[in-house]
Each structure stands twice: as structure tokens, then as C-alpha cells.
Structure 1
Amino acid sequence: MTCSGCSGAVDRVLKKTEGVASYDISLEKQEVLVKGTIPYDDLKAKIAKTGKEIISGETVA
């Protein structure tokens, strides 16, 4: 994510995604932290549909 348009696209997708309890988008860090019950692979697919590249990710229990 390099601009507010990028973070806005991710924000719009996450708002509509079932299983996402909360999220924090940091344009400065180019990072999105998501809390919820959605499986990681499903979340990754949702974000990928915005055209944004996912460099890394992890699931924390």
C-alpha cells in the first residue's frame, strides 16, 4: 500500500468481510493487522482481490 487509495480499497473489503472483528491499517508501515475468526487463506484471498500484494503474513492464536 503506497497511498490512501490503496488503504481505502483494503478498508472497503475488510468492512464487508464476515469473520473480521477489527482491523488496523497503517499506511506508514504498509501493514494491516486483522483480528477475527476468518481463516488466513480466506483473508489473504479477499485482500488479494483488491490488487494489493501480500508479502508476508502470520496467524497468531
Structure 2
Amino acid sequence: LAQLCITITMAEEHTYNFDITMSCGGCSGAVDRVLKKLDGVKSYEVSLENQNATVVAEPTLDYATVLKTIAKTGKKVNKGVADGVEQSVEVPVDA
């Protein structure tokens, strides 16, 4: 009998992009500080000039967690994209 082998590969990382309203270096610094402390973040870049943040995350760190973390700074997230797919920017409420 022939054997059937199926390999399921999980993504090794996620890429999340957020458009964030930031008016000064303090704003981008606040976003920088919360991302620096977030477990599961492999790398990130916050750009005041481009009004955005890009986060490369471990597979265990989901989009909603990163969105909530950025929202805690009080900055408005205008758009979010996870692995190339646009996502909601409504901050999930913890149950």
C-alpha cells in the first residue's frame, strides 16, 4: 500500500502593519516602548514620518493582541493589515 504523507506548515512569523495617528516624537516613542516590551515581537519599526508601525511577530502573537497594545498608548489606529490582509481596527474588549 502506498502511504500518504501530508505536511502542514505553520507560518514561522506574522507581519502586522498599522497606520497610526502620531503627531510628535513622544507619540511614536510611546508606541515604540509598548512594542519593545511585548512578548512575541521579533522586530518592529515605528515611523513618525510615515505615521505607521510594522511588527514582525512570532506565530503565537496574534493581531488583536498587538492592536490592543498599541491602542493602550491612546494613539488612534486608522488601518491594520495582518499578513497582507486588511483587518478591523476595532479594539477587542476582554471577556
What TM-score bracket applies, with the shorter chain setting the length?
over 0.9
What do you get for the CA RMSD once the two structures are aligned? 1.1
In structure 1, stretches of 5+ residues that fail to align are none
The structure with the greater share of residues assigned to helix is: 1
SS in 2 for 1:58: strand
Q: Which has the larger radius of gyration?
A: 2
- Normalising by the residue count of structure 2, what TM-score does the alignment of the two structures yield? 0.62
Residue 53 of structure 1 and its aligned partner are, at CA, apart by: 0.6
Q: How far did residue 54 of structure 1 move? A: 0.5
Superposed displacement of residue 29, structure 1: 0.7
SS in 2 for 1:55: strand
Supply the AA of the counterpart residue of 2:52.
E
How many pairs are equivalent? 61
**Is residue 47 of structure 1 aligned with residue 70 of structure 2?**
yes
Runs of 4+ that moved beyond 4 A: none
What does the per-residue CA deviation read over 1:16-58, in whole Å, with 9 as the maximum and x for residues that have no partner?
0001110011111100000012201110000000000111111
Q: Identify the residue that residue 26 of structure 2 maps to in structure 1.
A: 5
Gaps of 5+ in 2: 1-21, 85-95
| Structure with the bigger percentage of strand | 2
* Identity percentage of aligned residues: 51
Q: Compute the displacement of 1:10 (Å).
A: 0.5
